[in-house]
Amino acid sequence: MSQDFAITDHKVLVANRGEIAMRIMRACHKLGVAFTAIYTAADAASGHVRLAQEIGGEKSLYRVSSYHDANELMAVADDALCTALHPGYGFFAEDYRFARRVTKRERRMIFIGPSWKIIRELGDKINTKRLARSLEVPTVPGSDRPVYDEMEAERIARTVFEFQLQQGIKHPLVLVKASAGGGGMGIEEVYDIDNFRSVYRRIRNYAMRQFKDEGVLIEQRITDFNHLEVQIVSDRSGKQPVHFGTRNCSIQSTGLQKRVEVAPGFSSRDLSYSFDADKVLDDIVAYSLTMARKVGYDNVGTWEWIVTRDGSPFLMEVNTRIQVENGVSARISRVRDNADVDLLAEQIRIGLGEPLGYSQEDIATEGVGIEYRLIAEDPDNRFTPWSGSIEQFHWKEQPWLKVHTHVPTDMVYEIPSDFDPNLALAIIWGKDLEEARQRGVSFLDDLCLTGKSATGEPLKSNINFLRANTERILRF
């Protein structure tokens, strides 16, 4: 299909919600590609519904029973005559069976993401680990497949504890996580092997409830580290992957969910590190590209890394999809001196079959980008999600600021309880780290965000947490 169609002949089903749905719609609009959006009853007031009504064409918006129901997506795609599907992030974005179904069904469509075989190979944390080890890419010690048996799980945990003691680690830790999980959900630490079974059972039960799969992974918990990412982009040929630099996502909630992302991953120009930071960045980029070439990676993807205090990188996983934080990499990037880089538009363009059209030499970076995730939550109480209504939400427009949000700014908005209470992404650019930080704090100071819960309690948000952590951005 892609060979016969110009991209403007395509129509994309936006199989997601909220701000990412809006960014996909805007990217399609910019490329001249038609789209169809979907929403559930709980999301009727979301900005993505309004945007679809404003800029969408014929059959551009459908109400569905669930974003998780593949049959709904296929039925809507058929009725709206969509030729491609963009999964966004979450939901079906890393489900190879879904991607395969999209591309193999009777009325075939293009899945705007890597091919299903690549998702199957890299989307599975275990396969990724095996592939990485075969290419001598360093990975975190632990199980190399999901564990379903309690005795086996305990045996692996014991081995990982012993391994750490042999390494001279005084307080060894084991991480127990839901194999089918992601985004920091369903993860707990074990400090003592005697507590392992109770934690294992809790995670297994949680995994069963949330993901319908009770498989659990057991890994060494590395405590003193930075979380880095490499942004990879490659067209359908899969032959010449390029990177759009690195990101540092070390500022996270206690549940290991990202709250601030910074590009580039380290800044040796502005800060000193106890290791050769530029070499670490070069190494993780090189490792990521090696793996991307090996599998013939053919869309956008992110290689996630742990970097320890001594500068040792370990591959955590590959996210075979667009990331929430893609915009912060785009913000500091230039392609042939064009500063208006849009990785979502790039993903759609190459996903629909266009060649990338440039090489690594054409890509440069400039300055520092910070992305804040504005979330209704209580950082003082284990980042517990807050639910209620947003009454006021506005900020001061700046040339160095982009805000992506699905929260309407001209009406009261009730946060749906079915999803994370993410409100907005704010991307700030500065010529150097200091300027980016100053601008970040200035944005947060000027931000107006108010609301109240059903019981009249005022909104809780992470603004103070973001402000307090801006100072330590990129510090190790």
Active site amino acids: 321
CB of 246 vs other proteins, minimal distance in Å: 28
| Binding of residue 108 to other proteins (CB under 8 A) | no
> CB neighbours of 29 closer than 8 A, spacing ≥ 6?
35, 55
CB of 84 vs other proteins, minimal distance in Å: 18
Q: How many residues bind other proteins, per CB under 8 A?
A: 28
Stretch that binds other proteins, among 234-242, 307-315, 381-389, 402-410 (CB under 8 A): 381-389
Binder to other proteins among 387, 389, 398, 409 (CB under 8 A)? 387
Residues 351 and 367: their CA atoms lie apart, in Å, by 29
By beta-carbon proximity to other proteins, the closer residue of 208 and 441 is: 208
By beta-carbon proximity to other proteins, the closer residue of 92 and 429 is: 92
Binder to other proteins among 421, 430, 440, 451 (CB under 8 A)? 421
Q: Which of residues 58-87 bind other proteins (CB under 8 A)?
A: 62-66, 69, 71-72, 74-76, 79
By beta-carbon proximity to other proteins, the closer residue of 236 and 258 is: 258
Binder to other proteins among 206, 287, 314, 465 (CB under 8 A)? 206
Q: Which long-range contacts (CB under 8 A, 24 or more apart) does 201-204 make?
A: 201/150, 203/176, 203/177, 203/178
Q: Which of residues 445-464 bind other proteins (CB under 8 A)?
A: 454
Given a contact cutoff of 8 angstroms between Cβ atoms, the answer to whether 111 and 87 are in contact is yes
By beta-carbon proximity to other proteins, the closer residue of 81 and 339 is: 81
> CB neighbours of 387 closer than 8 A, spacing ≥ 6?
376, 415, 417, 421, 453, 454
Given a contact cutoff of 8 angstroms between Cβ atoms, the answer to whether 185 and 178 are in contact is yes
Structure tokens belonging to residue 261: 């992302």
Structure tokens belonging to residue 26: 């805007």
| Binding of residue 185 to other proteins (CB under 8 A) | yes
Given a contact cutoff of 8 angstroms between Cβ atoms, the answer to whether 87 and 27 are in contact is no
Stretch that binds other proteins, among 4-12, 230-238, 380-388, 394-402 (CB under 8 A): 380-388
Peptide bond before residue 385 is cis, with ω within 30 degrees of 0: no
Stretch that binds other proteins, among 121-129, 228-236, 384-392, 444-452 (CB under 8 A): 384-392
Residues 220 and 51: their CA atoms lie apart, in Å, by 45
By beta-carbon proximity to other proteins, the closer residue of 366 and 418 is: 418
CB of 369 vs other proteins, minimal distance in Å: 27
Q: What is the dihedral of CA 152, 153, 157, 163, to 10 degrees?
A: 50
CB of 71 vs other proteins, minimal distance in Å: 5
CB of 388 vs other proteins, minimal distance in Å: 9
Distances (CA, A) of 45 to 333, 374, 411: 34, 19, 9
Binder to other proteins among 138, 311, 385, 408 (CB under 8 A)? 385
> CB neighbours of 286 closer than 8 A, spacing ≥ 6?
none
Residues 171 and 409: their CA atoms lie apart, in Å, by 48
By beta-carbon proximity to other proteins, the closer residue of 11 and 243 is: 11
Residues 399 and 206: their CA atoms lie apart, in Å, by 44
CB of 185 vs other proteins, minimal distance in Å: 6
By beta-carbon proximity to other proteins, the closer residue of 82 and 428 is: 82
CA 277: distance to chain centroid? Answer: 23
CB of 5 vs other proteins, minimal distance in Å: 24
Residues 110 and 89: their CA atoms lie apart, in Å, by 16
Q: Which of residues 329-358 bind other proteins (CB under 8 A)?
A: none
| Binding of residue 205 to other proteins (CB under 8 A) | yes
188 φ/ψ angles, rounded to the nearest 5 degrees? -140, 155
| Binding of residue 41 to other proteins (CB under 8 A) | yes
Residues 166 and 16: their CA atoms lie apart, in Å, by 46
Nearest to 47 by CA among 17, 68, 26: 17
Given a contact cutoff of 8 angstroms between Cβ atoms, the answer to whether 207 and 148 are in contact is no
| Binding of residue 209 to other proteins (CB under 8 A) | yes
Stretch that binds other proteins, among 233-241, 302-310, 326-334, 415-423 (CB under 8 A): 415-423
By beta-carbon proximity to other proteins, the closer residue of 141 and 385 is: 385
Binder to other proteins among 9, 152, 418, 471 (CB under 8 A)? 418
Q: How many helices and strands (H and E) does the chain possess? A: 13, 23
Residues 237 and 286: their CA atoms lie apart, in Å, by 19
Three-state DSSP state, 234 = coil
CB of 24 vs other proteins, minimal distance in Å: 20
| Binding of residue 417 to other proteins (CB under 8 A) | yes
By beta-carbon proximity to other proteins, the closer residue of 418 and 434 is: 418
Binder to other proteins among 167, 210, 254, 450 (CB under 8 A)? 210
Can you give the binding site for other proteins, defined by CB under 8 A?
40-41, 62-66, 69, 71-72, 74-76, 79, 185, 205-206, 209-210, 384-385, 387, 417-421, 454
